[in-house]
Amino acid sequence: MVEKIKQLKKTIESLSTLPIVITQVDPDAIGSAMLLRFIAMKLGKDVAIYYCGHFGHPQNRTIFTLFDLGSIMFPIKEMPKEIKHCALVDSSQVNDSRLLGRVIAPIIIIDHHDIDAKIKEDHDENGFILIDRVGAATTLVAELVFAMGYTLPKNSKEATLGALAVFTDTKMLINATERDVIAYSRLLEHTDKEVFRQLQNYPLPQRYFEHFKDAINNWKMKEGRLVTGIGFVSSKDADQLAIIADSLIRMPEIQVAVTWGIVDNSMVRISARCTDPSLSFQDFLTERFGKNSGVKTSPVGIAEGGAFIKLPSGFWTGDELKGELLSLVKRKMDHLILDELDVNEQTNGHDPGDVDRNGFDLI
């Protein structure tokens, strides 16, 4: 740990400012970024956090409001084009399509997922890379904070968001490693307990229950797999797909649960969960949705993943075609998830997201 701390300090001190990039808005990415920001500010650096996607999940919207994150975090499109060097937390994918084509060269990488081989090969020896299989990326950053001898302020947003991140990403510590539990306990000492409770009891809008009802009414099951769609949904409500998938995978007879929705009439968003340890879930999704899909696996083997598939636009869109479009997507999704695919059929030799890469959902 001593060598890691030295290298992190050396890397941060070599920068005039530290841009931090998160490719997915969720508590773990937010908590990781906020704690790394805390370290960098302790070293006298200015920090800006840039995020991909939206604060659409009800819990994320609550976090955004309670902590005024709009003054700290900014959409990736606002990141100056000339900035390439940055810190990347809760991810190691430089070719992540959620970056909207932006080229980044992370000089700091902290992640708890499987590493992108290209990152490891190209990583600057003067930079800092920390990849370890724990339940939450925030655990890794919290360990650095405490090992560097820093004390988080009482009731601080960094401690509160850090504790929430570990608690949430490990499914209330069910999927936690011993390191996660220790980090969570130390963060909890400095957490605003009342705010923490609020973040656990975030409100779910009426639309969520309407979508959940649609998911139940539309589901199809076959041999331990479940697929269901909630129809057309706005981008601000699209994160509800992940909440629904988390609920459906808890059915004991289901090993794969996939939810989908047509977002803003322009793309199909897919959230997927898997509890079958014998199934390579990354291969399962890649075979069906191409390389524009992704998976993360918890320490106890529960896989979470998803994809975005761009729909044709222009002439082939319009209210008069919504029914046909919905029916077409439903038939395709039912087939992809419930049927075994022919080798020649698997993405037809190309990535279905090639038309317009828009990333994947891992929430």
pLDDT per residue as tens digits for the range 112-121: 976 554 555 5
Token pair 């990152």: residue: 119
Q: Where are the alpha helices (DSSP H) in 170-258?
A: 178-188, 193-200, 206-218, 240-248
Q: Which CATH class is domain 206-349?
A: alpha beta
Residues contacting 66, CB < 8 A, separation 6+: 195, 198, 199
Confidence of residue 37 (pLDDT cuts 50, 70, 90): very high
DSSP E strands: which ranges in 223-302? 225-233, 256-263, 267-274, 293-297
Q: Mean pLDDT across the chain, nearest whole number? A: 88
**Per-residue pLDDT at 153 exceeds 60:** yes
Q: What is the DSSP letter of 115?
A: P
What mean pLDDT is predicted for residues 271-286? 92
Every domain range in the chain assigned CATH 3.10.310.30: 206-349
Closest CA to 320 of 270, 281, 265: 265
Q: What band does 123 get if pLDDT is binned at 50, 70 and 90? A: low
Domain with CATH 3.90.1640.10 in the chain: 2-200
Share of the chain above pLDDT 70, in %: 89
CA-to-CA distance for 284 and 337, rounded, in angstroms? 9
User: What tokens does 39 get?
Assistant: 């370290």
Tell me which CATH homologous superfamily contains domain 2-200.
inorganic pyrophosphatase (n-terminal core) (3.90.1640.10)
